[in-house]
């Protein structure tokens, strides 16, 4: 792939990226490629294990390409303060630390010497602050130290938006560079007012702000030109995008089906990826395993008897919640969240299982309040599950996430 500062070579078998600076070429480059085993005559190496298909690279190693957006990606902030209380407050970019320390904090009650902590909330020494290494904002009263009683940001109020850390200004936008363009995704599941946020303007309407945020990133996520659909099945990026586009275009908003709009879309995607890869879906896990996974993730007492699978019917959510569920699912697909897993099939299966658990939790939250879960119930459930260790729990139980999705598709 051509990048801003040179050429990126992707070895899908060894799950590695190589970077060739601009201006390097000719016989030395060919010799280097041969030495790395990257020429066409080199034997294929064993396939290395992967945790994800996303690489973190320097900004200059990403393609200098156009932005890829979707009209469904909309946002306006409700100033509820929830994200300032619940998301990780870091790690901060060095420029964020520089800006905060350069501000005049006299008379504010804030002490710059106490601004930063490590990931676990422990104080850090001056040497670590000076190195600008793995720093997070300190929490106070279960939220960011700069969050005011009126749920507004004290940094923003006193010094303006540009003084805020990058993560705060960018939220919920996320970038993933791909061979075909810069995907402008959204972290909608982390917003506690997602339904209201989606009534805002299209993110694509302010491409100048989007480009400014993109240009400010020192490190970016890069999606590879060769994609593992399943173990043993590689496709090009264009082939993957064609498959994803067909899935999104074939599912108009509001088409509920047996499982409801969002869950149905993701389960169809699981089936479509398996068919494209030419592999059958595995035998589904048992209803007992589904029940155990649900109860452990949602911390409920196990119900007597078998899992009441009727609870996964579309009638568990009202129409507005179904529409929200679908938009969340579509945006997660478009944002390429599935690439945080070793294969696309595993990634989309994980999205489907998460959507099912979110629905189960939403219905539990609605119990006693309403016959059907409303958007607020679903929003709260998705927010809870976003922070949940679903991947680890599935592994601890000895389950295969694709087998879990297969069980959901057959019920």
pLDDT digits (tens, 9 = 90+) for 174-211: 999 999 999 999 988 888 888 888 888 998 888 899 99
CB burial of residue 120 (10 Å; 0-12, 13-18, 19+): exposed
Q: Beta 136-137 vs 116-117: how paired, if at all?
A: antiparallel
pTM: 0.90
Helices (H), 280-389: 287-298, 319-334, 344-366, 375-386
Return the SS3 of 327: helix
**What pLDDT digit, counting tens, does each position of 250-283 carry?**
865 444 444 568 999 999 999 999 999 999 999 9
Cα distance between residue 211 and residue 253, in whole Å: 29
pLDDT of residue 184: 95
Q: Which tokens go with 387?
A: 């922070």
Cα distance between residue 15 and residue 343, in whole Å: 12
CA 136 from chain centre, in angstroms, equals: 20
Query: Which residues are CB-neighbours of 134 under 8 A, at least 6 positions away?
Result: 90, 91, 118, 119, 128
Cα distance between residue 93 and residue 100, in whole Å: 11
In 10 A of CB 241, how many CB atoms?
Answer: 19
CA distances for 304 relative to 148, 288, 292, 308, angstroms = 46, 11, 12, 10
pLDDT of residue 138: 95
Q: Which residues of the chain register pLDDT less than 70? A: 251-260, 300-315
pLDDT of residue 304: 45
Return the SS3 of 56: strand
Taking every pair of Cα atoms in the chain, the longest distance, rounded to a whole number of angstroms, is: 73
């Amino acid at each position: 792939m051509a990048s801003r500062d040179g050429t990126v070579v992707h070895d899908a078998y060894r799950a590695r990226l190589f970077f060739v600076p601009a201006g390097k070429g000719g016989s030395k480059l060919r010799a280097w490629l041969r030495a790395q085993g990257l020429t066409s005559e080199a034997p294929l190496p064993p396939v290395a294990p992967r945790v994800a298909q996303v690489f973190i690279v320097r900004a200059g190693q990403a393609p200098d390409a156009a932005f890829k957006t979707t009209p469904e990606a909309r946002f306006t902030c409700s100033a509820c303060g929830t994200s300032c209380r619940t998301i990780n407050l870091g790690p901060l970019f060095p420029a964020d630390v520089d800006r905060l320390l350069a501000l005049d904090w006299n008379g504010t009650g804030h002490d710059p010497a106490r601004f930063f902590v490590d990931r676990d909330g422990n104080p850090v020494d001056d040497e670590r602050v000076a190195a600008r290494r793995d720093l997070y904002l300190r929490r106070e009263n279960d939220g960011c130290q700069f969050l005011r009683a009126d749920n507004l940001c004290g940094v923003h109020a006193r010094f303006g938006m540009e003084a805020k850390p990058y993560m705060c200004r960018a939220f919920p936008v996320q970038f993933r560079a791909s061979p075909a363009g810069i995907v402008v995704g959204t972290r909608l599941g982390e917003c506690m007012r997602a339904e209201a946020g989606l009534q805002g303007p299209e993110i694509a309407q302010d491409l100048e702000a989007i480009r400014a945020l993109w240009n400010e990133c020192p490190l970016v996520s890069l999606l590879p030109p060769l994609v593992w659909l399943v173990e043993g099945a590689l496709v090009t990026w264009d082939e993957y995008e064609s498959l994803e586009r067909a899935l999104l275009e074939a599912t108009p908003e509001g088409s509920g089906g047996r499982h409801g709009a969002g869950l149905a879309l993701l389960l169809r995607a699981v089936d479509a990826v398996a068919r494209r890869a030419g592999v059958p879906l595995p035998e589904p896990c048992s209803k007992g395993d589904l029940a155990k996974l649900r109860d452990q993730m949602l911390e409920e007492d196990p119900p007597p008897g078998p899992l009441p699978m009727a609870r996964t019917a579309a009638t568990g959510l009202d129409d507005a919640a179904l529409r929200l569920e679908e938009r969340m699912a579509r945006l997660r697909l478009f944002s390429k969240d599935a690439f945080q897993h070793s294969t696309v099939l595993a990634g989309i299966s994980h999205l489907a299982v998460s959507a099912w658990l979110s629905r189960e939790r939403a219905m539990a939250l609605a119990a006693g309040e309403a016959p059907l879960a409303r958007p607020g119930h679903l929003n709260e459930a998705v927010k809870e599950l976003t922070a949940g260790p679903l991947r680890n729990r599935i592994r601890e139980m000895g389950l295969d996430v694709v087998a879990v999705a297969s069980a959901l598709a057959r019920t």
